[in-house]
Structure 1
Amino acid sequence: MASIRRRERKDGTAIYQVRWLQGGRGGDWEGEKFGDEESAEQFKRLVDAHGQQWPPGWVKGKGFVEDPVPPGDMPLVDWAHRCIDRLTGIDERTRGDYHRDVDNHFSIIRHTEPSGRVVDATICNLTADDVQDWVRAEEAGERDADDPQKWKRRKSHPKSIANRHGLLSSIVQVAVEAEPPLRSKNCCRGTRLPRVDDGIDEEMCFLEHDEYARIAAEIADPHARDLADWLVGTGMRWGEATALQVRDVNLHRNTVSVQRAWKRAAPGEGGPSYFLGPPKTKRARRVIALTGAQMDMLRRRMTGRKPEDLIFHTPLGKSWRHDNFWRRRWVPAVDAAIAKGLPKRPRIHDLRHTHVSWLIAERIPLPAIQARLGHESITTTVDRYGHLVQALDGEIRAAVEAAMAAPAPTPGLTRVV
């Protein structure tokens, strides 16, 4: 352990010397002088914390000397905005969301120097500890200092933290791959993130066939009823189903092709708030097989319509908006069904989850479900719905028992002596 010695000067003042054996017993004596006891005590704790070594970045007689600013370094927020402006392959709505995350969340990231001093984060000084501190701050939120009952910055959901961390990691990676590189490694690698499945927020709701029928019976508008039946019968996303056009239907193969989806325009762009764009991912472009009843419904809705007309529309022929459908059609129907004994309160998106549960109950393999839903990765399908595949336990046991059983003798063979 380091120690502090007080020495009197001739003028009556004192100096405080911190002494220690470099690296512990067997090392050489080292020392540093301070003009006040508090500074000496702080330095002593640093020496002890670093195993009786000089604290990194400390120069004897001068204190902590920070490395010179690397060429090209800039505030982290400025670097992030610049990277986002240069992204390709994303719509302007997504770009705006990224910029908002930088302003609202990356702006609170700070860098802690070896001395313990906290400064603004830059793209070059950011460390793994800084990223971990930021994740903890996002998870904890911040109360209003003037009114502890209010939030200055609310707690972030684990999924939101994971998404923002992914964006931060990609922004830091740009600095790693820059020419010349601004960083030697990505400090976001290995960050311990909160579990996404903690809590019960937005828990998936799976409806039995009769439970959905009770809700559907309360939807009086036939246009809304057709759309609800389609969502639960195909598992399509809301933005995909409401963007289907007459030309997407193949009447000979009994299929429908997912080619587009509704997108929300970025704020301030002017014009319509929604527009038709590509589906969510590459795998979201897919062909979905339909039942005879579904084809009959499509033929009914396609009669007299042009190839570019929407298949699902409001009674006035306008495109459906999620908020309008949810508020005027879905919520009243669910409330009416609950009043008559329905024990669940599903969201519109739960019709997609319900479709999957029905497929799994019929022993449809998860890879086939992945293709039908348009998931980019089978991992997504397994993570969300793998817990439902309990109905196959009996088949799995039988398969294992058959594989492990001793081979039966082959009939009709006679041993030759």
Structure 2
Amino acid sequence: MASIRRREKKDGTATYQVRWLEGGRGGSWQDEIFGDEDSAKDFKRLVEAHGNKWPYGWVRGRGFVEPDDNPDDPPFLDFAARYIDRLTGIDDRTREDYHRDVRVHLAHLEHMRADGRALTATVGNITQDDVMDWVRREEAGQRDPDDPEKWLRRPADPKSIRNRHGLLFCIMQAAVEAEPQLRTKNPCRSTRLPRVDNHIQDEMTFLERDEYQRIAAEIKDLAARDLTDWLVGTGMRWGEATALQVRDVTLDAAIPTANVQRAWKRAPKGVKPAYYLGPPKTRKGRRIVALSPAQADMVRRLVTGMPPEAFVFRPLEGQAWHHGNFYNRKWKPAVAAAIAKGLPKRPRIHDLRHTHVAWLIAARIPLPAIQARLGHESIQTTVDRYGHLVRDLDSEITAAVEAAMGVPAPRAGLRAVG
């Protein structure tokens, strides 16, 4: 605890000395002098609030001062931009997205002084409280002061906040690991983030088999129907399925397969063409997917007489499917027609991948096998996203518990304790 000593001066006035042990018992004595008692009391509370340490930003004898232009403590935005520019193993579009997250979202990160004054964030002055304040601002959004019905920044969903916080964590960790070190601790390490499942509406839509058939029946284009059946039957991502080439399929083996080796990637804005072929989303995205006999027959029909580099799935009038065209001209009208006839769901194209997983889980396929088929980098991703669907084993689980508890332990000598 800090204390205040009043010291009389020869002219009849007094000064007030705040004294405390730095960090508490065992620390060295520290002190600061004030000309009035109220200021001394305010400073005493600040010291105690900071764990008996000098308040951050306070300079002895001067009070809170603006940070100097310190080359060893660069502005956060400058450091973040350099960090992203130096990243390896990412494509240009991902780099552009990271820069946008910094400009649009992380730019609102600021350092709040103990006196309530906000300072521009630097690598060294960002605290855990500053990060939590930023998370709350992301959750709340910002209304237009001139028109409360409009947003200057809309509230961010929990998943987006987690993704942006992950980028912030990596930037700050780079500062911790820099040579020379720019800070000693990552302020993002203990951030309490909003739960992704706080929203009532589920992001994923799962179709029953008859529900999918109601949509498929509305797709009159054979090439589009082939692709839709493939997406729901293999669980491939759109960018993987539409990038599949003739050379990637093996149809004469005991178990026919499709080798996922590439996927469509979006190019940076302004670059033509807008999409290009690159590696799958994750390292484990490169995988071999087993095909059913019906799937093999469909592929055989599509690839007969085609060169190795030809796309397996292609519209009659083009070389490759374009997502926007397929969605607007094939998928969206089919879903709308099915809804008009009573379909109770409005699935996206990507929900065909989710539906594929739901069907596998209903057939009691183990989650590790599903992970490998989907190309998830981690089994945790599979469990987090689809583990709640594993309910068909409830009876087996309860039966196993009943069997284990079937032979009761000796109960002689037990007595009630209350």
Q: TM-score, normalised by structure 1?
A: 0.86
Alignment deviations for residues 28-56 of structure 1 (CA, whole Å, 9 cap, x no partner): 9987434797x667546535745888646
1:400 deviation in Å? 3.2
Summarize the Cα distance change of 1:214–1:299 in structure 2 as closer, same or farther, 3 Å threshold. Answer: same
Who is 1:294 aligned against?
A: 295
Who is 1:113 aligned against?
A: 113
Who is 1:195 aligned against?
A: 195
1:113 deviation in Å? 3.0
Is contact 1:223–1:313 with CA below 8 Å preserved after alignment? yes
- The runs of 5 or more residues in structure 1 that have no matched partner are 408-417
2:204 partner SS: coil
2:186 partner SS: coil
- Between the two proteins, what is the percent identity of the paired residues? 63
1:136 deviation in Å? 1.0
2:212 partner SS: helix
1:4 deviation in Å? 12
- The runs of 5 or more residues in structure 2 that have no matched partner are 409-418
User: What amino acid sits opposite 2:302 in the alignment?
Assistant: R
Summarize the Cα distance change of 1:47–1:174 in structure 2 as closer, same or farther, 3 Å threshold. Answer: closer
Who is 1:256 aligned against?
A: 258
1:332 deviation in Å? 0.9
Who is 2:151 aligned against?
A: 151
1:183 deviation in Å? 1.4
Q: Does 1:345 align with 2:341?
A: no
In 2: Cα distance, 1:262 partner to 1:59 partner: 55
Who is 1:412 aligned against?
A: none
Is contact 1:370–1:377 with CA below 8 Å preserved after alignment? yes
Summarize the Cα distance change of 1:3–1:152 in structure 2 as closer, same or farther, 3 Å threshold. Answer: farther
Summarize the Cα distance change of 1:373–1:211 in structure 2 as closer, same or farther, 3 Å threshold. Answer: same
Who is 2:416 aligned against?
A: none
User: What amino acid sits opposite 2:130 in the alignment?
Assistant: D
Q: Does 1:276 align with 2:285?
A: no
**Mean CA deviation greater in 60-69 or 283-292:** 60-69
Alignment deviations for residues 217-266 of structure 1 (CA, whole Å, 9 cap, x no partner): 00000111001100000011010001100011001230101000000001
In 2: Cα distance, 1:347 partner to 1:400 partner: 39
1:323 deviation in Å? 1.6
Alignment deviations for residues 96-121 of structure 1 (CA, whole Å, 9 cap, x no partner): 00011111111111112344432111
Is contact 1:70–1:124 with CA below 8 Å preserved after alignment? no
In 2: Cα distance, 1:65 partner to 1:142 partner: 29
Summarize the Cα distance change of 1:29–1:328 in structure 2 as closer, same or farther, 3 Å threshold. Answer: closer
Alignment deviations for residues 274-296 of structure 1 (CA, whole Å, 9 cap, x no partner): 00000000111100111110001
1:152 partner SS: strand
Is contact 1:112–1:118 with CA below 8 Å preserved after alignment? yes
User: What amino acid sits opposite 2:370 in the alignment?
Assistant: I
1:152 deviation in Å? 1.1
In 2: Cα distance, 1:309 partner to 1:56 partner: 63
1:149 partner SS: strand
Name the Cα RMSD after superposition. 3.1
Is contact 2:15–2:33 with CA below 8 Å preserved after alignment? yes
1:200 deviation in Å? 3.6
Who is 2:75 aligned against?
A: 75
In 1: Cα distance, 2:70 partner to 2:183 partner: 10
1:213 deviation in Å? 0.6
1:203 deviation in Å? 2.3
Who is 1:170 aligned against?
A: 170
User: What amino acid sits opposite 2:347 in the alignment?
Assistant: P
